Amino acid sequence: MSVFEGFAEETVDVGAVRLRVRHGGSGTPVVLVHGHPRTHTTWHRVAPLLARDHVVVCPDLRGYGKSTLPPDEPEHAQSSKRAMAGDVVALLRHLGHDRFSVVGHDRGALVAFRTAMDHPDVVERLVVMDGLPVVEHLERLNEDFVRTWWHWWFLGQTDFPAERVINADPEAWYRTRTPGPREIGEANHADVWAALRDPAVVHGMCEDYRAGLRVDRRHEEEDRAAGRQVQCPTLLLTATEDDIDVHGDPLAIWRPWVAGELRRVDIRSGHHQAEQAPDEVATAIGEFMRGTT
């Protein structure tokens, strides 16, 4: 994949799972964590820009892309953001980095958040792209949210597994949720669709949402009850054409979760910021990493 020219690609055993990862560049390390239904290639336009000043690490989350997923556990704990955050820390240590910054988009924003919460001695800076803590969504249920975010409930229920519907016709299910190759890049498009046609990946993505409605919510409730907060500087990147403001100002919602510096930058794009506005995204992340945002 020429867009990742100069990046190494490997599969790393981090204990419970094996993660596919691309990494390259030099400088202070930053890990970029994709969301649903993407793979690490969603960052193909941002990673080379950041690699001018940083070691950039782009993994497939467990259960996504070509990374593996352990057998199902009670409460879908094998797909919890706590488990995924542990994968991120183990991966970075394998690559020789004891401290790093973490950027997460969509479901990856939950992983980035959990990494900062569970490993405050490791995470130096946190960037959240179009995400809120799960509990903040679930405590604000209303008609607008349920109507527009209906896939949370479809993917997250277990009485009639969503996998049966999706795997019967992936092209029909994802046709309005995955832009074409011209917009997101030919190689990225091919990588995403290879994953979407893999029943094991579809199951992994559903398990991600099932964990979100159960064990992930419980972890956040425990954090809040204990008064735990993100200790590092935090940046929110909000897409102007997305609906992360469905519950109001996301900065105000995040404020109780962050102990210190918290900033927001609007990105002129739809939901998939890294594919639609890579220059803006890379600039905002780079300035934040330098402390100039």
3-class SS at 180? Answer: coil
Peptide bond into 37 cis (omega under 30): yes
Sheet holding 100-105, edge to edge: 8-13, 18-25, 54-59, 28-33, 100-105, 123-129, 234-239, 262-267
106 has catalytic annotation: yes
E strands, the chain, in order: 8-13, 18-25, 28-33, 54-59, 100-105, 123-129, 234-239, 262-267
Helix axes 107-118, 81-94, angle to 10 degrees: 70
Return d(Cα 124, Cα 95) in angstroms, integer: 17
Return d(Cα 230, Cα 126) in angstroms, integer: 9
Beta bridge partners of 29: 55
271 has catalytic annotation: yes
Given the residues 44, 87, 97, 106, select the one marked as catalytic.
106
**Active-site annotation, residues:** 106, 271
